Structure 1
């Protein structure tokens, strides 16, 4: 018989035969006392698989997971894989209308939902034509729903389903930065591919590491940080199901003593600002990583100054499952995304598909074993994104003479000023270098002559004087990135629209038409 390549065998059950049954795989933070050993995870995921079968859910059918970062999540995810049922990790921050779209689009037959999230999704459940079971995690099970613990109490373990590494394992829905989310289908082998490349060869994760990821399990970056990488070596993950504001993140780093911290640029920037006022807690961090949006140079250098630990800024995508381009320990150049992760190939091409020369700007394409097999129910989009072995990222990059990649922006975010391409991210980096600016986003805006020029939306640091900051920003940016790139308009906002992964939704800013609120003139 062909070897069973079910990913659950490698990431879960293997640890029992290797002597880690009593090792804590997951523990909950911020006042929670619950934990889960590798042995318990193996046994309870077996019961999840048995419960799915007993409920009549067939292999390759979909089950949706609207679950907070809590110990039940890995039980459900790996239990579904053991049954060859396809778990779909759902963003916990969406609207009922978006949940309705995803549940109908995926035709999920079962929904696992944390009790805290049930009321949000409840309005769309009754009319769903595909859902047969709603399983609620927590107390106070609503009428018509099943209780998670009671489902497991009556279940029996079943053999792990025999699959190949090329069979579909799970879905992730893209963050939908420009519209309705897309179902991204990943195979069993992709999980190990990310662990064997970035996890082992860049992050260098080891069994005695403790990982804390503020990026949640429901999207690709968090799934790798919190499950795939630590479980590939038998390490421990700290789970936190709340909102990761700076003071809470700092407290968890102090109290839970992680060795690896996984964040996003927005949180890193806010935490630096908080730490400069409140001080750096004791810690034992040895590595910090970032993805989701390019990391501003000022944030990286400030973090290193405060913590004594570099941030390894990298680039990944839902389609590639995790980071494929990154800075590395001992080889960090802030303001760049680093170089290709071992196991991946990269190239940048112009509009005609020709390889660009160093110094030029082109769209980034990537080739590697973790690529998705395509989008669900979106053939034309799949054909446009997945070109044979290569995946189009939709990101524009410049390649330096040294072979490093410098982020320029999304393909649809770039625009020309005076006939010259402008990278929104380059201007944003200049803006956040100002001591009064916490965050910034730049979009094209048409002037009185109907020509596009940069417009900036900025979030100020606490205590900053808006008039003084706005008055200085134009000359400040001119001096840093060039006279034609400076923002002709600057608008102060309380926050910037972002996806749950921390990516700025510039299309929402482009759609705003509020000139009366603008500070500064052309």
Structure 2
């Protein structure tokens, strides 16, 4: 529940001012060949704020940001907050149709877009002024006036940003968050679990437009005075290793598929000496990946789960007590309950739908009253749509409710099948859904073969035999479909419904 005391402050100012007092010349961000100090970042944010005020952006007005990860993104976000605006954050790989929908749905009155994203910059017009941006803050600043601006105080429960979820189907949904939400998520996870300090250097492969990446690279380092590494492009494994080594990264954040790729390409002599913790979220972390990562690097890989609606992670493993295969334990002050289809709370050991409440939960979806009523429940509870089992305080993620299916009257989670298949050396990645055969449902696996593997009937048989040795018969895939790349959301989640669509298309042809 969002029962915060009534207060008025400016989130951007509250993030910047302590750093300006303690260490103004400390590096806040590394990005490519650029180093940006806290003093330079604050100056850039004030210049952005001055520009917005000159364009008559007022308290509560929305500004759309479609930007590659860079200090320009950070300064733009802070500048919008300084003038009391609401930053509407969209992904960088959407279609022009999606961008048009988000702009119209949010009512954004100005656009900041990377010049390298023509689908976004195409939105510019007489009714939507657009500032085309590069990734270099120093080059960008020369275009903006250097004037003094006063920050606009707002209630802690007022919206300061809005993220658009990629969604499994249909149009993206806007999820507004307040300053209190943002601060609470930082205290709970970055402070309470990671014990982040100003000595840390953080690097998140997950991008800023993703709630997970926004916390990792924006809120957390600014709140604790740390340094963050940004990389505009999608980094390849060799580039990730280089950035970790060259910038002496201590906290690393990614999604499971990135850890899998790193393990499959890791030189035997690579030892990330400065890393103290690694974090995985976005999808369930397969237990073999967690074990192999620790064996190869000596660094704990902590799994966790969060959501756009909760702002960041609310269940996570803890340093020194990680358990591969478990999602983790509840992070104070969040609360959870696991319920059946009728909404009755279940005892430990019984799988059911997770409800969560806590200080960083969104209170509504933007302009979606029916979705809000179905998801944001009475007394501050959020229906996550995730299926969990709880045992002795540990939570085990079983999958999304929409991805579960029944075989022989038994519920099947795709995650367990995917975990087993990924252990086979011929499998780079995989996704599992279901198909109907003679009127009955059966598991269907889509496999991305590893380099040099021949996706032929022999490999199909080999993978199904491998699965049969480790899984109950009702969980063994009845068929393997080979695919070059899995359909995923912009934030890296496998879109299993698209796998079913793809199978239908292949069957028809």
- Is 2:9–2:155's contact at 8 Å kept on the other side of the alignment? yes
Q: Is the 8 A contact 1:135 1:148 kept in 2?
A: no
**Match status 1:495 vs 2:485:** yes
Distance (Å, rounded) in 2 between the aligned partners of 1:516 and 1:3: 57
The answer for the alignment partner of 1:11 in structure 2 is 15
Which of residues 152, 157, 160 in structure 2 aligns to 1:166? 157
What residue in structure 1 maps to residue 360 of structure 2?
A: 370
* Whole-Å separation in 2 of the counterparts to 1:488 and 1:237: 46
Q: Does 1:417 align with 2:413?
A: no
Residues 174 and 281 (structure 1), Cα distance of their counterparts in 2 relative to 1, 3 Å cut: same
Structure 1 segments of 4+ aligned residues over 4 angstroms from their partners? 514-518
Superposed CA offset, 1:219-246 (max 9, x none): 1000100011111110100110011221
CA distance in 2, matches of 1:386, 1:220: 18
Q: Please give the per-residue CA displacement for 1:448-484, whole angstroms capped at 9, x wherever unaligned.
A: x221111000112223344444222223223323111
Q: Which residue does 2:90 correspond to in 1?
A: 90
TM-score, scaled to structure 2: 0.94
In structure 1, stretches of 5+ residues that fail to align are 140-146
Counterpart position of 2:342 = 352
Within 1, Cα distance between the matches of 2:148 and 2:208? 25
Q: How far apart are the structure 1 equivalents of 2:444 and 2:60? A: 48
Asked whether 1:116 is paired with 2:119, we answer no
What is the SS of the residue equivalent to 1:480? coil
Deviation at 1:138, TM superposition (A): 3.2
2:144 pairs, out of 152, 163, 172, with: 152
Find the counterpart in structure 2 of residue 457 from structure 1.
Answer: 446
Q: 1:312 aligns with which of 285, 297, 302?
A: 302
Matched, 1:24 2:27: yes
Secondary structure in structure 2 of the residue aligned to 1:116: coil
Structure-2 separation of matches of 1:471 and 1:497: 24
Aligned CA-pair RMSD = 2.0
- Matching residue of 1:266: 257
Residues in 2 aligned to 1:516 and 1:54: alpha-carbon distance in whole angstroms: 55
CA contact (8 A) 2:106 2:174 kept: yes
Q: Is the 8 A contact 2:44 2:141 kept in 1?
A: no
1:353-395 deviations in Å (ceiling 9; x for gaps): 1112222211111111110121111110011111131111111
C-alpha distance in 1, partners of 2:148/2:78?
A: 13
Single out whichever of 474-483 and 433-442 deviates more from structure 2. 474-483
**Contact 1:49 1:79 survives alignment (8 Å):** yes
Q: Cα distance, 1:124 vs. partner?
A: 3.8
**Who is 2:3 aligned against?**
none
Using a 3 Å threshold, how does the CA distance of structure 1 residues 484 and 451 change in structure 2: closer, same or farther? same
3-state DSSP of counterpart to 2:98:
helix
Greater CA drift, 46-55 or 503-512: 46-55
TM-superposed deviation, 1:436: 1.8
**What is the Cα deviation at residue 278 of structure 1?**
6.1
Cα separation, 1, equivalents of 2:7 and 2:364: 25
- TM-superposed CA distance for 1:511, in Å, is 1.0
The size of the alignment, in residue pairs, is 499
Instruction: Tell me how far apart the structure 2 counterparts of residues 266 and 282 of structure 1 sit (CA, whole Å).
Output: 19
Partners of 1:282 and 1:312 lie apart in 2 by 16
Per the alignment, do residues 178 and 474 of structure 1 end up closer, same or farther by CA in structure 2, a change over 3 Å counting? same
C-alpha distance 412-161 of structure 1, shift in aligned 2 (>3 A): same
CA distance in 1 between counterparts of 2:208 and 2:86 reads 16
- 2:331 aligned with 1:328: no
Residue of structure 1 in register with 2:51 after alignment = 51
Q: Provide the rounded CA distance (Å) in 2 between the counterparts of 1:441 and 1:120.
A: 29
Q: Do 1:51 and 1:151's aligned partners in 2 also have CA atoms closer than 8 Å?
A: no
User: Would you say the 8 A contact 2:121–2:130 is kept in 1?
Assistant: no
The answer to whether the 8 A contact 2:113-2:121 is kept is: no
Distance, in Å, in 1 between the alignment partners of 2:91 and 2:7 is 34
- Identify the residue that residue 143 of structure 1 maps to in structure 2: none
Residues 104/506 of structure 1: CA separation in 2 closer, same or farther (3 Å cut): same
SS of match in other structure, 2:485: coil
Shift of 1:37: 1.2
| Cα distance in 2, alignment partners of residues 387 and 130 from structure 1 | 37
Q: 1:281 Cα shift?
A: 4.8
Contact 1:137/1:149 (8 A) holds in 2: no
Are the aligned partners of 2:29 and 2:37 in contact in 1 as well (CA < 8 Å)? yes
